[in-house]
Each structure stands twice: as C-alpha cells, then as structure tokens.
Amino acid sequence: MCTSRLPLIAISATRRWSLAVALMLIATSVRAGTVETVAGRFDGPISFHADGVKVGEKQVAIADVLYLYADPAKKAATSKAQPIASLVRLRTGEVWIGPIAGATSKEVEVTSGWFGKKAFSLKAVSVLDFIPHEPITVAEKRKTLYRKPGRPLPGTIVWIDKKSMGLDSPLGTVTLKRTGLVRYVMDNKPAPAVTDEKAQDEVGLADGNVFRGQIEMKDGEIIFTHPVGGRATFPAKSVRYIIRHTPTMVELSSLPHETIEAEHVGLAKGKQLAMLDKSTAKCVRSVRLEPKITIRYALPTRGGKKLVLRATLAPVEPARGDAQIKFSVGGRTVLQQVISASDSRVPVEIVLPEGKELTIDVDFGPLLRFPCGAVLQDAHLVLVK
C-alpha cells in the first residue's frame, strides 16, 4: 500500500486475455496517505474519527477500509518504553518490540511499551531477535542460535534470563552469555496468516511494532484490543498502516503456494530466490521476483463474485538489467511486463478470469545484466460484485 497515486496497469474482465495490457497512466503525486476500499483507492490527508476515517474530504466507514497507509515521514509517537534492541516475531506476522525478559522451554516473555510484560507460547514464535537487523551471512535454519562472534549453534531453548541463555544442543545443555547473541530462529518459514477470528485487524506502528487484534476508531486515536496483550490506545500519529482482514480481501502471502526455481543459470550472481523481503517505508509486505522462478498460488473460491488482484510492481534495488514478469490463470496470460532498472513503481489491478491457480513466471528480459528482477508489493485479492 503506497501513499501516492501512480501509473495504473488495469485489465478489464470483459477484454481478451492476451499479451496486450491496457495501461492507464496517472501523474505521480505526493500525498499524506492512502485508504483502499473494495471500490478503490483514495489519497489525501488522513484523520481518525469515531465513525471511521477521513481522506481529504472523503469520509470512509471503518467497515469499508481494507488498507490504510499513513505518511511514513510523519514524526512517530513512541510508546512509554525507551528504544530497545530486542524483539519477538510471531508466526502470525506480529512484531513485539521490547526487552526479552525471560523464557522457559515452553514460553517467552517480552516487555512491551504498549502492553507491559506478556508471555507467548514458543509454538507461536518465529524468531527471537536479540540484536534486530543484524545480518546473518549463512542460510538460517530452524531451532538454531546465531552468535557474533561464534558459529551457529543448533538446539532448543531451556531458559533465558537477563544475563544468560540455556540451550539443549548436540553438545548437551550449554550456558551462553546473552552478550553477542544475535538471533534464535524457531521456524525459518513462518506463516503470516490470520487464523483467529477475533484477530482480524493488523496495525503497524511507526516505532516498528506490529499487532493483530480488533480496532475501534476514536477522534485522533485507535483503541486496540489484543487477544493476549489486552487494550491499548494508539495515537493517530503513531500508526503507519492498518490492514483489515475482511471476508472480501485476502493477502497473496497467506494463500497456499509452491515455488519452483528453474535450473541454475551460470551467469546469475548472488541469491536466485528471496521470497519475502523486509517491509519498507513504501509497502507493508513484498515478494522478491528474480529469474528464473515460477510461483503458483491456489486461488480462493469466488462465490459468484469477481476476483481482483491488486499490488504494486517495482524493480529490485539495486537493479541493472531487465526482468520479464508474466501472470496467468488457467493458462491464460493476464499480464506480461518487462521491468527495467529505470522503471517507477506501478500499481497493478487485474480482474482474474476463472481458474483455480494464479501463476507468476519470472524470466530474464532483453537487457541481461545483474542484478535484475521485480518486487511485488502488498499483493492482495479482493472480491467485488
């Protein structure tokens, strides 16, 4: 979800599905925010009210909001806690920033500036980041502790306290000082999907926290109820984005999918496939598309409605060459686009034909240089009448 209106790639349901793509170019403009509903996108200054949100002069009921993206340049309001250097990532996609207070073999405690000290089952945890954003130079493996300095150490958590960590490793139970611990990976393939009917709203804050629960709009603030954390009040200036997981919208990343990587290409350098990118200031979630891969997503049932794919395509950063991206459903091409290094980010809106599977093929484009590829940002499906 982006904060500016950009050139739009739009495919009408009544037109032929061919390599030809209808392009509607709209001048880029800088806005304070964007709100998306089933009907479309609205750009402008965003304010929160008891009966919904206001985008410029447009009033939108909270029940109609699918995505809300606020201006990331706005100064963030912080929680009561001082900036800290650890966080807990949950399998739902939540990010709880705060000191990791402790852990047992069954649960971990984190002290949140918004909710206080809370405990989560280790089964719900994806990653414990003792030093967030510290790069790992090897492929991360599940149930593995990463250190700096030191080699990765496989094992399961026995305890964590303020000064040390106990790990049941192949060498037996070892005690490690927390100084130098970078990351413990519970699961290297987290599944960010909404599974709790009571946790349908996702709120991303400017301080980096991401919570799932229920939102209630007030004038200038959000009252948020979390199934574990309880209730908290978020000032409007602290909110970076809101995603409401309604029956009419599903994120592409939550759909069952398989990825096929083509035979290794000798000229290619670096990583051939990086499925999930970190969120950036310009989007919430992204999928990195590099030659040569094929991704197949199982499409949801339509119930007699149209199924629309909305997303934004952008070249990878940095990029020097071209990549060709093709979207198809049931063997019918619905979009084919060459993404070059000089291209701008382009919103995509495609009405998908009948079919059980969306296929994305990525190949090399006319200019063969490395790196090359595209980033598919905030891809989601919307059911419309």
CATH number where 334 lies: 2.60.120.1060
3-state helix, strand, coil in the chain (%, to 5): 5, 50, 45
Q: What is the mean pLDDT of the chain?
A: 83
- Residue tagged 């701008």 (tokens): 344
Contact assessment for residue 108 and residue 125, using Cβ atoms and an 8 Å cutoff:
yes
Average pLDDT over residues 180-184: 95
User: What is residue 32's predicted lDDT score, i.e. its pLDDT?
Assistant: 73
Residue 238 backbone dihedrals phi, psi, to 5 degrees? -90, -10
Q: Is residue 127 part of a domain?
A: yes
Count up the domains in the chain and report the number: 2
- Residue tagged 């009408």 (tokens): 12
Print the SS3 string covering 92-156: CCCEEECCEEEECCCEEEEEECCCEEEEEEHHHEEEEECCCCCCCCCCCCCCEEEECCCCCEECE
Q: Is residue 34 part of a domain?
A: no
Reduced to 3 states (helix: H, G, I; strand: E, B; else coil), residue 365 is: coil
Tokens of 121: 């089952």
Average pLDDT over residues 24-36: 52
Last residue of a domain, one of 185, 205, 224: 185
Q: Is residue 242 part of a domain?
A: no
Tell me the per-residue pLDDT of 99-110, one tens digit each, with 9 for 90 and over.
999 999 999 999
User: What is residue 80's predicted lDDT score, i.e. its pLDDT?
Assistant: 53
Q: Is residue 336 part of a domain?
A: yes
Full domain range(s) for residue 13: 8-25+250-384
Tell me the per-residue pLDDT of 117-150, one tens digit each, with 9 for 90 and over.
999 999 999 999 999 888 877 788 999 999 998 9
CA distance 147 to 127: 14
Tokens of 207: 């301080």
CA distance 242 to 252: 17
Indicate the range of 19-28, 146-155, 335-344, 358-367 predicted with least confidence: 19-28
- Comparing C-alpha atoms, which of 36, 3, 34 is closest to residue 282? 3
Tell me the per-residue pLDDT of 45-63, one tens digit each, with 9 for 90 and over.
999 999 899 998 899 998 9
Higher pLDDT, 79 or 11: 79
Average pLDDT over residues 21-34: 41
Q: Do 266 and 369 share a domain, yes or no? A: yes
User: What is residue 273's predicted lDDT score, i.e. its pLDDT?
Assistant: 37
Average pLDDT over residues 75-87: 58
CA distance 278 to 133: 10
Which residues pair with residue 282 across a beta bridge? none
Tell me the per-residue pLDDT of 317-349, one tens digit each, with 9 for 90 and over.
888 999 999 999 999 999 999 999 999 989 999
Tell me the per-residue pLDDT of 266-295, one tens digit each, with 9 for 90 and over.
444 333 333 334 434 468 888 889 999 999
User: What is residue 253's predicted lDDT score, i.e. its pLDDT?
Assistant: 85
Average pLDDT over residues 3-26: 34
- Residue tagged 């000032």 (tokens): 235
Question: Residue 8 above 50 pLDDT?
Answer: no
Q: Is residue 64 part of a domain?
A: no
- The model's confidence at residue 258, banded by pLDDT at 50, 70 and 90, is confident
